[in-house]
Amino acid sequence: MVADGKIYTPQSGSSTLIGITRDTVITIARDLGYEVIESIIPREMLYTVDEVFFTGTAAEITPVATVDRIKVGNGGKGEITDKIQKAFFEVVEGKNPKYNSWLTYIR
């Protein structure tokens, strides 16, 4: 989730699935200059933040419009989510040479 320009994610000891996509998104976010804070996130906090997005192998980076039928931010993809999503796709599509060492090309 995004609040006041900072990105918050659950700690690795919580119910978060630790994996490549999560690590990739955290690295990209930090490289874009965002502070990423791993902490316990109370459910109520989701109701007042600016943006929420899912990450995962299938979800990639998916914006969340509502939580418990309560609109998150403007109810659409937020600015920071958009920037991270675009950067993520540049990486996985091999369009950002900075991260080419992360890719294995199959011919």
Task: State residue 15's pLDDT score.
Answer: 66
Is residue 17 scored above 80 in pLDDT? no
Q: Is the pLDDT of residue 97 over 70?
A: yes
The residue type at 107: R
Residue 96 lies in a domain: yes
First vs last C-alpha separation in the chain: 37
> Looking at the domain assignment, is residue 64 inside a domain?
yes
67, 77 Cβ separation under 8 angstroms:
no
Report how far residue 7's alpha carbon sits from residue 49's, in angstroms, rounded to the nearest whole number.
10
pLDDT for residue 12: 79
Question: Domain holding 73: CATH number?
Answer: 3.20.10.10
- Asked, for residue 71, whether it belongs to a domain, the answer is yes
Q: Which two tokens stand for residue 81?
A: 């989510």
Say yes or no to pLDDT of 16 above 80: no
- Measure CA 86 to chain center: 11
- For residue 54, give its domain range: 2-102
Query: What total number of domains does the chain contain?
Result: 1
107 found inside a domain = no
Q: Report pTM.
A: 0.91
Which helix (DSSP H) or strand (DSSP E) does residue 28 occupy? Answer: helix 20-31
Task: Report yes or no on 66 lying in a domain.
Answer: yes
